[in-house]
Amino acid sequence: MAKQQQAIQAIRGMRDILPDQSPYWQWLEQNARQVLGSYGYQEIRLPIVEKTELFKRSIGEVTDIVEKEMYTFDDRNGDSLTLRPEGTAGCLRACLEHGLLHNQTHRLWYYGPMFRHERPQKGRYRQFYQLGVETYGMPGPDVDAEMILLTDRLWKKLGIRDKVELQLNSLGTSAERAAYREVLVEYFKQHVDVLDEDSLRRLETNPLRILDSKNPDMQFMLRDAPVLLEHLGEESLQHFNSLKSMLDELGISYQLNTRLVRGLDYYGKTVFEWVTDELGAQGTICAGGRYDGLIEQLGGKANHAIGFAMGMERILALVEQLDTVTLEPSVDVYLIRVGAAAETAGLLLSEQLRDQIDGLKLQVNCGGGSFKSQFKKADKSGAAFAIIIGDDEAQRGEAALKSLRIEQEQTTLSHAALLETLKTWHHNKSLA
């Protein structure tokens, strides 16, 4: 006898989204699409694999993502390719490649899986889904404010607005950051005894990231560290102050977080994160900022850009916790067939109903079974009605209709009467 093979499992940190979960995903995706549409954003679909060089040049050589988290491999031609760890670089690459940025403004969004070889934990996966938004050609801060308004609207629509807080900072220009970096390194060198191993390494490569450290032993020292906002020039300050006054006037509250530096190198000026304290360590559900400098860095003409991306798993975890979503059942009507004559008659009737009632979700019981077992399945499907066809009904061109959710006598109807009844029900349901 052949030895039973061991079952193959999914890769660590890469999750299956099972049928009982996918309606929540669809619900989130639909809401996001609708909100993005209401601000005039257009979808762009991008490859999942890009040249490794693209991410090195944009995200930065000395970031965690590029240093240790990318899924990078040589393809059969020997080219180094990488599964995208984020979407900003690919989106900009596509826009430059197709000449979309010449004297134009764009508001774009993309959606799909991203890949980072991080240590998996709740809310942190190796394949995760982002919905990202990028805009080009607008110097702001009006569009910076619009991004925040858009996300604020989405949180309200999802029922999570009072669970999230907006954190805001400005990273100034690259010249301002370079000058600040020197002051900061000087400060850290005076406290080198408190720096952990990671921070000592970053002191040479990316000292601003030390500000982001969650190490409790370093918090006291970090509290007194020099603040980047105090080293910004006039123009950067004005941009930031205008954004803050717009948000004040629009009634959007925010927390100034002077230590918010972001883990990707391309940002300058506005950066923001939406955070929640309901999800443990992985509490950032959405993050982004301005990255004007990246366009030139990727070979384009100087231009303006700002965007953000939200982590779908984290948003869904938050929504799930609140238990506020009621989803529609995936089936409206379940069709039961009992007897040889009912087999094809039932299929025929189901096709006629689908022809006549656009959008009706009708599931036919396939694979046989007694009336009782089919009826159980009908009930479990969540359908509002069962249609029952036995050989008698099949011969007479009739069908029985039974309401599964409200107390009502089962009725036997002609196909025409059945069609009318279901049509009216479906119409009323779509109005509700």
Write out the residues near ligand HAM by the rule CB under 6 A: 86-88, 116, 118, 123-125, 128, 130, 132, 134, 263-264, 284-289, 291, 307-311, 313-314
Please report, as a single letter, which amino acid is at residue 137: G
Spatial contact of 167 and 275, defined as CB atoms under 8 Å apart? yes
For the CB of residue 128, give the shortest distance to ligand HAM in the complex, in Å: 3
Name the residue number minimizing CB distance to ligand HAM.
Answer: 311
Q: Is 110 annotated as a binding residue?
A: no
Q: Give Cα separations from 97 to 26, 236, 259 (angstroms).
A: 31, 30, 35
For the CB of residue 327, give the shortest distance to ligand HAM in the complex, in Å: 23
Partners of residue 82 on adjacent β-strands? 50, 72
Specify the residue, 124 or 377, whose C-beta has the smaller distance to ligand HAM: 124
For the CB of residue 409, give the shortest distance to ligand HAM in the complex, in Å: 52
For the CB of residue 322, give the shortest distance to ligand HAM in the complex, in Å: 17
Q: Is 88 annotated as a binding residue?
A: yes
For the CB of residue 115, give the shortest distance to ligand HAM in the complex, in Å: 9
Specify the residue, 170 or 374, whose C-beta has the smaller distance to ligand HAM: 170
Q: Give Cα separations from 396 to 1, 15, 91, 136, 353 (angstroms).
A: 53, 50, 60, 65, 18
Q: Is 201 annotated as a binding residue?
A: no
For the CB of residue 253, give the shortest distance to ligand HAM in the complex, in Å: 19
**Is the peptide bond prior to 216 cis by the omega test (within 30 degrees of 0)?**
no
Specify the residue, 123 or 141, whose C-beta has the smaller distance to ligand HAM: 123
Q: Is 130 annotated as a binding residue?
A: yes
Q: Let me know how long the chain is.
A: 432
Specify the residue, 45 or 223, whose C-beta has the smaller distance to ligand HAM: 45
Residue reference for tokens 């990255």: 291
Q: Where are the alpha helices (H) located in 224-367, listed in sequence order?
A: 234-250, 293-297, 312-322, 340-356
Q: Is 176 annotated as a binding residue?
A: no
Spatial contact of 206 and 188, defined as CB atoms under 8 Å apart? no
Specify the residue, 284 or 365, whose C-beta has the smaller distance to ligand HAM: 284
Spatial contact of 396 and 411, defined as CB atoms under 8 Å apart? no
Specify the residue, 268 or 311, whose C-beta has the smaller distance to ligand HAM: 311
**What contacts 156, CB < 8 A, 6 or more positions away?**
none
Specify the residue, 86 or 144, whose C-beta has the smaller distance to ligand HAM: 86
Q: Is 334 annotated as a binding residue?
A: no
Specify the residue, 110 or 188, whose C-beta has the smaller distance to ligand HAM: 110
- What gap in Å lies between CA 268 and CA 293, rounded to an integer? 7
- What gap in Å lies between CA 202 and CA 251, rounded to an integer? 38
Q: Is 116 annotated as a binding residue?
A: yes
315: number of Cβ within 10 Å: 26
120: number of Cβ within 10 Å: 16
**What contacts 245, CB < 8 A, 6 or more positions away?**
none
Q: Is 105 annotated as a binding residue?
A: no
For the CB of residue 309, give the shortest distance to ligand HAM in the complex, in Å: 4
φ and ψ at residue 414, rounded to 5 degrees = -70, 160
Q: Is 204 annotated as a binding residue?
A: no
Beta sheet of 71-74, edge-to-edge order: 49-51, 80-83, 71-74
For the CB of residue 196, give the shortest distance to ligand HAM in the complex, in Å: 22
- Binding-site sequence positions for L-histidine: 86-88, 116, 130, 134, 262, 266-267
